[in-house]
Copies of this chain bind each other. A is one copy, B any other.
Amino acid sequence: MKERLILISNDDGPHALGLHSLIEVAKDFGRVVVVVSDTGQSGKSHSITMSQPLRIREVEKTEKHAFYTVNGTPVDSIKLGLDQILSETPDIVLSGINHGSNAAVSVIYSGTMGVALEAALHGIPAIGFSLLNHKPDADFTLSKIVVRKVLHSVLNNGLAPNVALNVNIPDVTPEAFKGIRVCRQTLGVWSGEFEKRIDPRAKEYFWMTGYFENHENGNKDTDEYALSQNLASIVPVKPDFTDYKSIEMIKNWNFEQ
């Protein structure tokens, strides 16, 4: 039987503990090729680099494993991996494990999930993993258990075409963990987003900050609710932004004004 090929990326750079935790588990499932941005790329969403040339650096290459860095965004990395580095289509694309939540609307800003959605566009099954702890030395013990379970299930069951999974993992011990729940994306918005400061030359500047304002009032089918119950959340996501419900409504408008 042909060995599985697993392509991995992330948005926290090549040295992130979450990335190396993901690689450690993935190696038990097949041959692993890693292509990641050479610097941290949090918040880069689905951005691509159009005005600068991109370069690929081979860091490590053995029969079992290869590791490349790219001077671009997470989506640049996965595109270069699929188009230039690999000579065959991978069986699955994995992204993460992100240091910090990508639940609720954070999926939209996330480079980790940009990678997974790009793979989904290419028709490749993909999973983005995120731990609800943004510290560089976060404990990935539970995360590795969840990655193993979800990866095993996806490889056995497959995903619908052009669908990826957004998996978020609570920051608790394996003993406190309550299991895995399939959810929908929590609706809400980031509020109070900027902290104003004054620089040594008396000029204003702003740091992006803020808090997540949950608009769901505790609806139990959402990812934020599951995570609050020490459950890991899985939200299936797709790169089709169409709001089908609005199509018929707008068709009745008169555009002749």
Partner-binding segment picked from A90-98, A136-144, A234-242: A234-242
Which residues of chain B have C-beta atoms less than 8 A from A159's C-beta? Answer: 246
Q: How far is the CB of A55 from chain B (nearest CB, A)?
A: 5
A76 touches which of B73, B123, B208, B253 (Cβ 8 Å): B208
Instruction: Decide if B205 touches A153 in the complex (CB within 8 Å).
Output: no
Interface residues as binary, A205-223 with B (CB distance below 8 Å gives 1, 0 otherwise)? 1111000000000000000
Among the stretches A2-10, A16-24, A39-47, the one at the interface with B is A39-47
A15 at the interface (CB under 8 A from B): no
Q: Please, how many angstroms separate the alpha-carbon atoms of A117 and B175 in the complex?
A: 39
Question: In the complex, which residues 146-184 of chain A have their Cβ closer than 8 Å to any Cβ of chain B?
Answer: 148-150, 152-153, 156-157, 159-160, 162-163, 165-166, 179-180, 182-184
Contact of A25 with B by CB under 8 A: no
Q: List the B residue with the shortest CB-CB distance to A82.
A: B193
Report whether B247 and A242 are in contact in the complex, using a CB–CB cutoff of 8 Å: no
Contact B243 A247 (CB under 8 A): no
CA distance A195 to B157 in the complex (A): 36
Determine whether A67 belongs to the interface, using a CB cutoff of 8 Å to chain B: no
- How many chain A residues touch the partner (CB < 8 A)? 87
**Bound-state Cα–Cα, A148 to B255, Å:** 9
**Alpha-carbon distance A164/B131, docked complex (angstroms):** 31
- Interchain CB contact (< 8 A) of A45 among B114, B149, B194, B250: B114
- Contacts A79-B193, A182-B250, A204-B55 given; does A245 touch B48 at CB 8 Å: no
Whole-angstrom distance between the Cβ of A135 and the nearest chain B Cβ: 15
Closest 4 CB pairs of A and B: A236-B246, A45-B46, A237-B241, A53-B205
* 16 chain-A/chain-B pairs, Cβ below 8 angstroms: A43-B47, A45-B47, A45-B48, A46-B109, A53-B207, A54-B205, A54-B206, A55-B204, A105-B121, A148-B257, A149-B256, A153-B255, A160-B245, A166-B241, A182-B247, A237-B241
